[in-house]
A and B are shown apart, each in its own frame.
Chain A
Amino acid sequence: GEDVEQSLFLSVREGDSSVINCTYTDSSSTYLYWYKQEPGAGLQLLTYIFSNMDMKQDQRLTVLLNKKDKHLSLRIADTQTGDSAIYFCAESMRGAGANNLFFGTGTRLTVIP
Chain B
Amino acid sequence: NAGVTQTPKFQVLKTGQSMTLQCAQDMNHNSMYWYRQDPGMGLRLIYYSASEGTTDKGEVPNGYNVSRLNKREFSLRLESAAPSQTSVYFCASRGIGGNYEQYFGPGTRLTVT
Does B42 contact A97, Cβ atoms closer than 8 Å?
A: no
Q: Is B50 an interface residue (CB 8 A)?
A: yes
> Cβ of B49 and Cβ of A42 under 8 Å apart?
no
Please indicate which of the listed interface residues A8, A40, A50, A101 has the most CB atoms of chain B within 10 Å of its own CB: A101
Please name all residues of chain B whose beta carbon is closer than 8 Å to the beta carbon of A43 when the two chains form the complex: 43, 90, 92, 104
Contact segment of B13-21, B76-84, B94-102: B94-102
> Which residue of the partner chain, among A35, A44, A50, A97, contacts B48 with CB atoms under 8 Å?
A97
Using Cβ atoms and an 8 Å threshold, which residues of chain B touch A106? 42
Q: Are the C-beta atoms of A98 and B107 separated by less than 8 Å?
A: no
Q: Which residues of A contact B40 (CB under 8 A)?
A: 8, 105
CB of B56 within 8 Å of the partner chain: yes
A45 close to B100 (CB less than 8 A): no
Shortest Cβ gap from B39 to chain A (Å):
9
Q: Is B49's CB under 8 angstroms from A31's CB?
A: no
Which residues of B lie under 8 Å from residue A99 when comparing CB positions? 31, 94, 100
Chain B interface, DSSP helix/strand/loop, else mixed: strand
Known: A33-B101, A92-B100. A98 touches B41 (CB 8 A): no
State in angstroms the CA–CA spacing of A88 and B94 once bound together: 18
| Inter-chain contact B105/A42, CB cutoff 8 Å | yes
A101 engages B41 (CB within 8 Å): no
* A101 to chain B: closest residue by CB: B102
- B61 is an interface residue with CB less than 8 A from chain A: no
Chain B nearest Cβ from A70, distance in angstroms = 17
Contact indicator B99/A48 (Cβ below 8 Å): yes
Q: Taking CB as reference atom, which chain A residue is nearest B109?
A: A40
What are 9 A-B pairs with beta-carbon distances under 8 A? A33-B101, A42-B90, A50-B99, A97-B58, A98-B31, A98-B33, A100-B45, A100-B48, A103-B35
